[in-house]
A and B are shown apart, each in its own frame.
Chain A
Amino acid sequence: MYSQGLIGAQTSTEEDEAFLARFQERIDAEEKIEPTDDMPEGYRRTLIRQIGQHAHSEIVGMLPEGNWITRAPTLRRKAALLAKVQDEGGHGLYLYSAAETLGVTREQMSEELLAGKAKYSSIFNYPTLTWADIGAIGWLVDGAAIMNQIPLCRCSYGPYARAMIRVCKEESFHQRQGYEIMMTLARGTDAQKEMAQDALDRWWWPSLMMFGPHDGDSVHGDQSAKWKIKRFTNDELRQKFVNATVPQAEFIGLKVPDPECRWNEEKQGYDIGPIDWDEFWRVVKGNGPMNRERLEARRKAHEEGAWVREAANAYAAKRKARKQAAKIAAE
């Protein structure tokens, strides 16, 4: 139960050595931490930031794909894309409510996003130029998200882990419908195959960047691993993704745009060429091709929906007042 009342009363924990050791003991014993449990402020803050960013990514992630709903090539593709985008909205909502159990409000989180203060996955700051991009997103972006999210199902924080279980159940369809789109194009006319390859060329590197900086350069890694928020490092997850994805590309006759990508028998995995981290940081810091448009679209949706929220609340208040008046009259 996510009783919000207790959370506020709880935030000031005495974080002496003994307290932190006791908390770590619970983590090490694989106990789930629940909203009303004592927890270090750092743990709470880390989770609020991470779950918030994750939620924002789901919500902003609806935009690049939403761009193609009206132009899907068949009714089957359109129905699937609509369902996928709706799922992503749902994922955002599960995650926002998981974050709210930590004492932050939905309003605070969306304000931070709209003000440009909160981060979301850099991948969604790239444009969807052709229909093949919808295939590439499902296959690569959702594929990378799955790699990230599966270990999060065992995250030490209960509400986050439970939200992730729901999300993971739904992600598999996303990846499969994307791969099916790519496969259909790759087996189509020359122009269609070219379109598929072009989409892979553009989405490959940004997908690898989704896993974040190399382990040596990542700031949050160690403590998150100790608290069992994160179970694998960025590089480990990226490697798993590459190992799974390169053969899938080959299977449909496409090639990942990396001349240095080759199988390494010794490590039983693919070696890859260098990632352009300058590009990554440029996009993270707000200067990717679509950063401004994404935030503008969110702001517009928020502003244009304001009257609906206000009307719904006003109507609820009116009905409540009427009900109370009727009750008093009846007594």
Chain B
Amino acid sequence: MTNETPLWEVFIRPRNGLAHRHCGSLHAADAEMALQAARDVYTRRGEGTSIWVVPSAEITASDPKDKDALFEPTADKIYRHPTFYDIPDDVGHM
């Protein structure tokens, strides 16, 4: 490890009721400073009501090389969608 200051990913909840959303990253020595920096860097105009910071090194991401194996199988399961089923119009909205 060099003297590099750790990297954090920042997630912000835009308004009550919505999920936290990834908005970028920043460097900070610890979680407390990461929160303060996130407030200054990402919420200068009332963008958020809540902030999460996560050490970037703690995130496990799917490998893009596995994309097909992970996501392709859903493509042929059209019976998971409501439009797959034939319901007569007379039944009304369902």
**Interface residue ranges, A against B (CB under 8 Å):** 1-6, 34, 36-38, 83, 86-87, 90, 93-94, 97-98, 100, 105-107, 162-163, 166, 170, 309-310, 312-313, 315-316, 319-320
Contacts and interface: CB of A to CB of B under 8 A. Distances in A.
A170 B46 CA distance: 13
Interface of B: 2-5, 7, 9, 22-30, 33, 40-41, 44-45, 56-57, 59-61, 63-64
The 9 closest A-B pairs by CB, nearest first: A312-B29, A3-B61, A316-B30, A316-B29, A97-B25, A36-B64, A313-B29, A1-B61, A93-B41
Contact of B56 (A4, A98, A313, A319): A4
Contacts of A163: 24
A316 B59 CA distance: 20
Given A106-B27, A313-B5, A313-B29, A87 B44 contact: yes
A6 B61 contact: yes
A237 to B, nearest CB: 26
Contacts, number: 75
15 contacts: A3-B56, A3-B61, A4-B57, A36-B64, A86-B40, A93-B41, A94-B24, A97-B24, A106-B5, A312-B5, A312-B33, A313-B3, A315-B29, A315-B30, A316-B30
B77 to A, nearest CB: 23
A4 B7 contact: yes
A1 B9 contact: yes
Nearest to A315: B29
A2 B44 contact: no
Contacts of A83: 44
Contact of A309 (B5, B7, B59): B5
Contacts of B44: 83, 86-87, 90, 170
B10 to A, nearest CB: 9
Contacts of B22: 1
Contacts of A90: 40-41, 44
A107 B29 contact: no
Contacts of B60: 3
A38 B30 CA distance: 32
Contacts of A313: 3, 5, 29
B62 to A, nearest CB: 9
A320 B31 CA distance: 11
B26 A97 contact: yes
Contacts of B23: 166
